[in-house]
Chains A and B, each alone.
Chain A
Amino acid sequence: MESVTEMSDEYKRELRHIVTVSGDTELLSAPAYYYAARKAPSVNAMISAMAIVQDELSHAHIAYCVLEDLGVSREWLMYEREPHEFRYPYAFDVPLDSWVELCVANAFYDQAGFCLLSDVHDNTSYGPWKRGLVKVGKEENFHLLHGRRWMKRIANSGDEGRQLVCDAVKWMFPMTVEWFGLPDDLKTHSSQLDYKMKGLTNDQLRQYWMDSIVPFCDELGLEVPVHRNADDTAWELEYELPVFFDENEKRWDLEHHITWDQVVTRWKGRGPRNEEMVEEIQRSAGDFSWMFKDL
């Protein structure tokens, strides 16, 4: 599929939805990462973090340009929606309070993004998005490598560093597990798969993410609540989804079982940083034509 003239209304609707989620995810990762980047331990570290923030904005731009071709206004996408109308993973609403947490976010969240976008690039039926994702994939690869390098460096720097990494992993691993959405047996419709906008299901993507990140955590000696199942065909979580997350303490209670309805309520209600981050982005809206009138 190369242009909007070829597509049915339903295809267009589903495509707009999936690309909006992708674009919003990239856009909101920028302020989420930026706040933590300010705690960089050195100038070079800050440069790396800011390059990542800049990349995320360019990725959002690519997705929003795809949406513009599909008849969605970029002005509306960026500046006219309410904070709770943005469709990015709940994870970014939980503050990253330190450099360590930013690095674990790069290793975990950017890996999740990489898995999602690689799947789309490999399988999507919509040509312009597929081509737009080539650059995105390369850059996300750098982001996750950045995260991994720093995790390794900090975890191996001594007891204090190791504890900091462990503490971050403790809440961010289950947070990324839920990034991939509802389990397959609860998905009511599969239009995105039927229209080949993506290739893998939510559960398959979760497995793909764990294939990528669990061996790395094992290599660093970091405990994560997952192991291979009995016939070694898949990763099995050591807790039963869904479980309770205390967003004020940034803590999971893996024994406290809740319902998926309660999870969706949390997702839709957005988290602590949602309004602040969207306001930060929308502050830049305005009429800047006065800057150019003399040119």
Chain B
Amino acid sequence: MDPEVPVSLVDLGLIYDVRRLKGRVEVDLSFTATACPAMNFIQEDIRERLLAEPGIKEVSTQVVWEPPWTPDRISETGKKQLEGFGISL
């Protein structure tokens, strides 16, 4: 979840790729801005959450900036949730 407005990272379109090989998971993610103040938090959250899953021993997060994130990557669910918080797109 985004630490500020509680919409999931998946609904925000920030998770670009997830790969699993046995006990190791790799996540490629981006951020809504290059100076996002929550970059470390979000990566820590992902690691913590995935490590809580049975069978997952190792989590690696990779920040990518290509292709650049834009609001059209937000899912319909995400958009509705943001509107509920007063953020229109």
Contacts and interface: CB of A to CB of B under 8 A. Distances in A.
B35 interface: yes
B35 A142 contact: no
A50 B36 CA distance: 11
B39 interface: yes
A16 interface: no
A50 B35 CA distance: 10
B24 to A, nearest CB: 24
Contacts of A146: 37, 41
A67 B18 CA distance: 49
A142 B36 CA distance: 12
A44 interface: yes
Contacts of A135: 86
Interface string B22-63: 000000000000011111110010000000000000000000
A139 B4 contact: yes
B35 A145 contact: no
Contacts of A50: 37
Interface residues of A, number: 16
Contacts of B5: 138
A48 interface: yes
Interface string A124-140: 00000000001100110
B65 interface: no
Given A134-B85, A134-B86, A135-B86, A142 B39 contact: no
B3 interface: yes
B38 to A, nearest CB: 7
A138 B37 contact: no
11 contacts: A44-B40, A47-B39, A48-B38, A50-B37, A51-B37, A52-B37, A134-B85, A138-B85, A142-B4, A145-B41, A149-B41
Top 3 closest pairs, chain A to chain B, by CB:
A51-B37, A48-B37, A142-B4
Interface of B: 3-5, 35-41, 44, 85-86
Given A48-B37, A48-B38, A145-B3, 4 more contacts: A47-B36, A47-B39, A48-B40, A142-B4
